[in-house]
Chain A
Amino acid sequence: MDRRLFLKSLGVTAAGAAISEASDSFATTHVASGIPSEHLRQPSRSRETIASSDLSPWNPSTTQPWDVHTINHLYRRAGFGATLGEIYAITRGIVVQTPSQVVDNLLRDSLLLQPTVPPIPGNADDGKTPSLPPAWLRVPPYVYNDPIKIQTDYANANMKIRSHWTVQMNQPEVMLREKLVLFWMNHFVVEAKKVYYPQSMYSLLTYFRQNAWGNFKKMVSDVTISPAMLIYLDGVLNAGSAPNENYARELQELFTMGVVDKNGNPNYTQDDVEGIAHALTGWTVDAQAPPPDVLPSKYEVTRHDSSFQKIYDGVKRQYNLTASGASMDMDLIDHIFDQRGDQIAWYICSKLYQYFVYHDVSGDSEKAVIGAMADLFKSSNWELKPVLSALLKSAHFFDEANIGAEIKSPYDHLIGLLRTFEIPINELSAGSLYFYAVGGSQILLDPPNVKGWPGYHSWISTTTLPYRGIIETLLVFSNKSLPAVGTDGYGNAHLPINLPQEADLVKWGKQFDNYSGTFDDMLSELGTYLCAHTPSATALKYIKGQFPPQTYEWNLLDDSTKVKALLGMATALMLLADYQLC
């Protein structure tokens, strides 16, 4: 066997020269060393052949119709789930919406421009007295002379941003935009605990809302000099001849191209990191600027090191950002995209693929689709919308093997519950939902590190999974006022949720086809709605066994008993592993 194929068959991806002539003896040594090849491979995965490995559009068919199963799939991946009403409107022909129309509707540019009211100053946590000045986003930090007051205000402001964000996620019209806001905030990561200024956090969040499917190259330029990022990765301290490498490294490693390309070759060297760090010197944040422009970024030529740098191609040039207005040979971002375009396209499309389709991209069919996305990304001159549109409409996206292959994030899970049971929230009640997300380990504005939440399997552990069960049961059974769940183990008490109004569960239940059918059909229909695939017969049988036999006479039950039984079924179904997948 060709060595390269051999390495590939082991699932080994090697950085540097590993997959090259020099690597041959290296690979052989390892293989002969007694390391079981399993350890050099992604944990086992085998599956049916994926039907389509390009971006050709999906057309519903008799074998795979546009039904509750596929509608749910699109709504869960491109958003946070569908209500029964949204699904049955389509399946019962009340509205005519093809999959492609749904995607186009979600990708309307007017949704980006749609103004959203900024977080209200009232105290979102307990609904009591407002504790922030009404125009808190426009209050510069220097007006504070009380260090305790500023910390309290900023902590409250962050809570308000989280509540506001949660409410946005729960709005069906902008669900794809918000799904992408979560993506970008977890791509160009900033952490509130370091950035400190909620104004800067909110401003970057708003930027992603307005550019959710905008131009990626422009996004890199804009984020590079956004105040939140300048603070977070020490751009504000990157000056003169002793630059700080923090942003220069992550710009390449995490934000644009990754450490290695798709073949395992390194994308940049330590010299490139240092060169880019030098080129980006001089950008800082003006903490003294008067309102309304609070905490803007600015370029200070005296802090810039205009020395010539060699970046990637060995040619010495003076680099800066065009926005600086300073004289230079080349815009740094232009240069990065010119020199590393293929790598950037592959890296970003891989991440989008992982987010929307499946996490493990080591297979050939995944790589083929990512390759097609990358080609489209480059030919669209780094516009994101064509790539997203093609992916979400593709037969590959709707492949049965990929349906239910993602693990719900805590917010997929939480917002999904609210949407499923049509539990309304507003900015005041959403504040307390934050504490439920803490237990799931996804604290908005505070990802764990600069790489963001790793997602995928890390969402599910022996800690978070039982916790999800508690949330499900509580939300379903006491849908207006929820008791505190105790502490999360770090001593953080979880506040009760006060929902603004009770969901109308009888109305909710009557939407099902089998509300007036049989017990078995009702259970199966509910399982199909709640889970990505209808749960197995053994699981449904087990659940049925938990019910008193008189409930099996489904058509004899009154509405209140039926609803109670429905909630019991739902709770049991949600405790299945199936419910954690989407």
Chain B
Amino acid sequence: MKRRDFIKSLPLGVAAAAVPFSIGGLFSGKAFGRSPALDVLLNAQGNSNNVLVLINLQGGNDGLNTVIPFQDPQYDINRKDVGYYTPSEKALLTPFQLRGDLALNPPLGTDFYNMFKDGKLAVLQNVGYSNPNRSHFRATDIWNSASDSELVVFTGWMGRYLETQVPENYPIDIGSSPDPLAIAIDYSTSLVFQGSRSVMASAVIDPSKYNAAQNYADDTPPNTNAGNELQFVRGILTQSDKYGKRFKDVFALPGATQNTVTYPTTNPLAVQLQKVAWCIKAGLQTRVYFVSLGGFDTHVSQYTKDPTQGQGLLHTYLGEAISLFQKDIENMNVADNVIGMTYSEFGRRVNQNGSLGTDHGTSAPMFLFGKEINGEVYGHNPKLDAADLDVYGDLVEQFDFRQVYASILTQWFGIDDYLRKSILNKPEFTSVSDFQSPTDGFKFPVNGSGTMQNIIRNPVPMSVSQNGSLAFNLYQNQPNPFPGITTIKFALSEGGPVLLEVFDGRGSLVKTLVNGYRSRGENQVIFDGLALPSGTYYCRIAFNGKTQTRSMTLTK
């Protein structure tokens, strides 16, 4: 049940904001003492129970041999020995055609292809970013942190999103959700979940066999390197303890670990998605799942065509795991709120190397799948002519990967413009209509016939705080009028990213006073107008998608 529906079902007949007890407490058995306004705020920033499954293809999946532009003569020239489909073999691609000149690599399988036929699989072509990095690790970090190529960012895009959903001292206070916000089916989590204060995901190999650990120290660690690390380990202990108890309850229920399809144990991706299916079926309020498949670094013997080795085998795993997972959650009637997305740090070079393989390249296709995905091919085919390639002879991106992230954040998680802007390090992506290809003016997303189309069939309405005035307040500056220096205070009902700016009488930006995370409660900042002419100025706060403005008078 969605939380909002749950609130509606309460026989109180009052607005959610007036529910006089902690909703979180009902779920976790513990009252957190948070005001109703805060819960409204939290709900407002993530009211859907939509789920995203991230599938990370590690090593750099060769895009040209995944979604194959088989009619392009340059493909024939560049890929002669890398699982290349010779003219006589091209008939093999016919049952996998996405359109006349484009086909899925057959080892991905008929079931996977049928997801496209059924309109549940979107193929996004030529996704990358400018000045692409060819290092596995740097490129992986760029994708996970959603940073520009040149900028090192230490948080992940999902971490930045998810930390808007929890109290500031998470995970010591895990907030109102009894379940992890994100689960990585792995031994450790990924940069994609790193928030500015803590890791926003829990690593779990098998939630049904989870052994919890416990934290029973509550003193404040010293303010040293060692103290910081102690606090980190304690946070993990707390997560393990709280979520572990919940896993134990959930997976003790009969049938909790039954699926409606058989996931082959030999398929390393399928065994992970099987566990994701359990969690979704169990009704965990987890928003994001992370699974991964390694081995795509095909410098040697790529074997694209062979479903039993090399890239061909990996595509067998990929297509089989995704199609089984989709079938499973549909059979269990829990597929409506689930989409998946594949991503890899880069595609391979256009021209094969001398070892029957391909080296590190640039842009590549992504897959998005689910009942709510508008299954289409988005974008033109990779442009393989020498004149269209970059200086190293590699593909030039058509879409920036953050355009895809932006679509998911807005259309699937329903976050507003302001928050998206702060989550994605890409200020120019200010609204959906601005998602324009940086290289060729192509609008995004654009379907096969060239018209704008949402990737999500029924985008979640962009949420705004239902009772925004309760969520924050900008006080009148003191003193006012002021001779040069004045103090501006504002209160937040929950920590989050704040933008506080001063404009002059013409509406031009004079100064940015705050641009970053501020904590719950009262905050203040000094405004120095000594160098400015007398007159009326406007102070504007933007928080959680809403703004509030006050005028101030400078009299010298």
Contacts of A457 in B (CB 8 A): 188, 199, 232
Given contacts A13-B152, A244-B359, A462-B239, contact A45 B225 (CB under 8 A): yes
Bound state CA distance, A496 and B239, in angstroms?
29
- Determine whether the beta carbon of A407 is less than 8 Å from that of B229: yes
Bound complex: CA of A450 vs CA of B59, how far in Å?
A: 10
A29 and B151 CA atoms in complex are apart in Å by: 12
> Do the beta carbons of B230 and A16 come within 8 Å of each other?
no
Q: Which residues of A contact B294 (CB under 8 A)?
A: 448-449
Contacts A43-B194, A450-B136; A577 near B237 (Cβ below 8 A): yes
The count of A-to-B residue pairs whose CB atoms sit within 8 angstroms is: 260
List the B side residues contacting A459 at CB < 8 Å: 188
Contact between A39 and B240 (Cβ–Cβ < 8 Å)? no
CB A57 to nearest CB in B, in angstroms, measures: 21
Once the chains bind, are A465 and B230 in contact (CB under 8 Å)? no
A580 to chain B, nearest CB (A): 5
Residue of A whose beta carbon sits closest to that of B275: A489
Contacts of B217 in A (CB 8 A): 535-536, 538-539, 542, 576-578
Q: Are B188 and A486 in contact (CB under 8 A)?
A: no
Q: How many residues of B contact A (CB 8 A)?
A: 89
Contact partner of A29 (CB less than 8 A), chosen from B352, B427, B499, B517, is B427
- Number of chain A interface residues as a range: 35 or more
Q: Provided the pairs A48-B224, A246-B299, A246-B359 are in contact, do residues A489 and B58 lie with their beta carbons within 8 angstroms? A: no
B300 touches A237 (CB 8 A): yes
Q: Of residues 546 to 582 in A, which have CB atoms within 8 Å of B's CB atoms? A: 575-578, 580-581
| Contact of A36 (CB < 8 Å), options: B196, B212, B299, B427 | B196
A242 at interface (Cβ–Cβ under 8 A)? yes
Complexed CA–CA distance, A491 and B204 (Å): 14
Stretch of A87-95, A99-107, A179-187, A396-404 on the interface side? A396-404
The verdict on A520 contacting chain B, using a C-beta distance below 8 Å, is: no
A488: chain B residues at CB < 8 Å are 205
In Å, the complex CA distance between A238 and B357 comes to 11
**Of the 9-residue stretches B11-19, B317-325, B417-425, B467-475, which lies at the interface with chain A?**
B417-425
List residues of chain A with CB within 8 A of the CB of B196.
Answer: 36, 38-39, 41, 43-44
User: Contacting B204 at CB < 8 Å: which of A26, A441, A463?
Assistant: A463
Does A487 interact with chain B (Cβ within 8 Å)?
A: yes
* A193, closest chain B residue (CB): B295
Q: Looking across the interface, which residue of chain B has its beta carbon closest to that of A401?
A: B224
Q: Chain B at the A interface: mostly helix, strand, loop or mixed?
A: loop
Picked from A402, A458, A463, the residue with its CB within 8 Å of the CB of B226 is A402
Residues of the B chain whose Cβ atoms lie less than 8 Å from the Cβ of A406: 229
Instruction: From the candidates B216, B418, B426, name the one contacting A542 in the complex (CB within 8 A).
Output: B216
Within 8 A of B (CB), among A504-551: 532-533, 535-539, 542
The CA-CA distance from A244 to B349 in the complex, in Å, is: 12
**B244 in the interface (beta carbon within 8 A):** yes
Tell me whether B131 is interfacial, beta carbon within 8 Å.
Answer: yes
- B531 interface residue per 8 A CB criterion: no
Q: CB < 8 Å: which of B58, B239, B353, B542 contacts A242?
A: B353
Q: In the assembly, what is the distance between CA of A250 and CA of B419, in Å?
A: 38
* B358: min CB distance to chain A, Å: 10
**Contact partners of B265 in chain A: CB under 8 A:** 491
B6 touches A (CB below 8 Å): no
B47-73 interface code vs A (CB 8 A; 1 in, 0 out):
000000000001100000000000000
Tell me, in angstroms, the Cα distance from A26 to B426 when the chains sit together.
11
Chain B CB within 10 A, most for which of A270, A461, A575: A461
B160 at the interface (CB under 8 A from A): yes
Q: Which chain B positions have C-beta within 8 A of A171?
A: none
Task: Kindly identify which residue among A242, A462, A580 contacts B202, using a CB–CB cutoff of 8 Å.
Answer: A462
Contact of A486 among B131, B153, B209, B355 (CB under 8 A): B209
Name the CB-closest residue of B to A33: B427
Does A47 lie within 8 Å of B228, measured CB to CB?
A: yes
Residues of B within 8 A of A458 (CB): 188
Cβ-defined partner of B135 (8 Å) among A11, A33, A34, A253: A253
Please tell me if the beta carbons of B214 and A47 are within 8 angstroms of each other in the complex.
no
- Max chain A Cβ within 10 angstroms of own Cβ: one of B58, B199, B213, B425: B213
Contact partner of B421 (CB less than 8 A), chosen from A34, A259, A441, is A34
Residues of B within 8 A of A441 (CB): 187-188
Q: Can you list, as one digit per residue, whether each of B233-276 has a CB less than 8 Å from chain A (1) or not (0)? A: 11011011001100000000000000000000100000100000
On whether the beta carbons of B240 and A44 are closer than 8 Å, the reply is no
Taking the nearest CB of chain B, how far is it from the CB of A195, in angstroms?
A: 13
A33→B198 contact, CB < 8 A: no
Q: Closest residue of chain B to A16, judged by CB?
A: B150
The docked-state distance in angstroms from the alpha carbon of A45 to that of B222 is 12
Report which of B131, B195, B225 forms a contact with A47, defined as CB distance below 8 A.
B225
Q: Which of these binds chain B: A148-156, A330-338, A466-474?
A: A466-474
Residue-wise interface mask of A (95-123) relative to B, using a CB-CB cutoff of 8 A (1 in contact, 0 not): 00000000000000000000000000000
Whether the Cβ atoms of B187 and A238 lie closer than 8 Å is: no
- CB contacts (< 8 Å) of A461 on chain B: these are 186-189, 202-203, 236
A463 with B421, Cβ < 8 A, contacts A45-B225, A245-B359 known: no
Residue of A nearest to B214 (CB): A575
Q: Which residues of A contact B (CB under 8 A)?
A: 11-18, 23, 26, 29-48, 234, 237-246, 249, 253, 259, 264, 270, 273, 358, 360, 400-407, 441, 448-451, 454, 457-467, 469-470, 486-491, 532-533, 535-539, 542, 575-578, 580-581
Hey, which bits of chain B sit against chain A, CB under 8 A?
58-59, 131, 133-138, 149-155, 160, 180, 186-189, 194-199, 202-206, 209-219, 222-230, 232-234, 236-237, 239-240, 243-244, 265, 271, 294, 297, 299-300, 352-355, 357, 359-360, 392, 418, 421-422, 425-427, 497, 499, 512, 515-517, 542
15 CB < 8 A contacts A-B: A14-B152, A30-B425, A34-B422, A35-B421, A39-B160, A41-B154, A44-B196, A241-B354, A407-B229, A407-B233, A463-B203, A465-B237, A576-B217, A578-B217, A580-B233
Known contacts A44-B228, A465-B213, A487-B209; can you find 14 more A-B pairs with CB under 8 A?
A: A15-B152, A29-B427, A43-B154, A44-B197, A238-B354, A264-B152, A360-B225, A405-B224, A461-B188, A462-B180, A469-B211, A470-B211, A489-B206, A577-B236
